[in-house]
Amino acid sequence: MRNFVREEQKLPLFGIGPYLVYGMVALTAAGIVVFSYILKIGILSSPWVLVFRLAGLLLMAGGAVIWFIGALRSEMDESIIANMLKTDGIYAHVRNPMYSGIWIFSAGISLMWHNVWLLVTPVINWAIMTIVLKNTEEKWLLNLYGEEYANYKKRVNRCIPWKSRK
């Protein structure tokens, strides 16, 4: 937790993010290889190929947009450096847009292989993401921001972008 820019900065700039993202991508890739190429089970045929691929493209595009806004358009780095809780912009709709974007994108990639067994990978990735975030970043943020973060958690979903609860 010491990859900060300034000594007085309380949170790491990257946190556990790279490890979580690499894990989700690795699990998705492993599922594709195992179910579609090694075991060759669960592979669907027409018309499901088109349905899965269209849904996959939509999820990939949506995930990329969510990640892009969270990572590059939200000014999150400035909030971390200034030790301020980010609750506006995309953060008013999802607490972890960068992780969510990768999760949604990888779910879309899974669908591109039109394999019914790959439908389990987004569920496993969501469970891993939830467990990791609850036990790392959410504890750090609650410790740092207290009631402000506790109230934010009540209003905004962890992983699925949604309209904020007032």
Quote the tokens at residue 13: 């700039």
Assigned domain for 160 exists: no
Assigned domain for 4 exists: no
Assigned domain for 1 exists: no
Q: How many domains does the chain have?
A: 1
Instruction: Tell me how far apart the 2 most distant CA atoms of the chain are, in Å.
Output: 58
* Opening angle at CA 5, ends 97 and 136, nearest 5: 45
Residue with tokens 């699925």: 160
- Distance (Å, rounded) from C-alpha 26 to C-alpha 23? 5
Assigned domain for 9 exists: no
Whether residue 13 is predicted with pLDDT greater than 90 in this model: the reply is no
- The mean pLDDT of 41-60, rounded to a whole number, is 97
In this prediction, residue 2 carries a pLDDT of 42
In this prediction, residue 10 carries a pLDDT of 59
Assigned domain for 161 exists: no
Quote the tokens at residue 122: 């987004």
Own/partner pairs for 45-48, CB < 8 Å, 24+ apart? 48/114
Contact 117, 35 (CB under 8 A): yes
Assigned domain for 80 exists: yes
Assigned domain for 3 exists: no
Supply the range of the domain harboring residue 34. Answer: 17-155
Please, where are the H alpha helices in 16-47?
Answer: 17-32
In this prediction, residue 14 carries a pLDDT of 62
Q: How many CB atoms lie within 10 A of CB 163?
A: 9
Assigned domain for 7 exists: no
Tens of pLDDT, residue by residue over 120-158, are: 999 999 999 999 999 998 998 999 899 999 999 999 999
Quote the tokens at residue 52: 């899965």
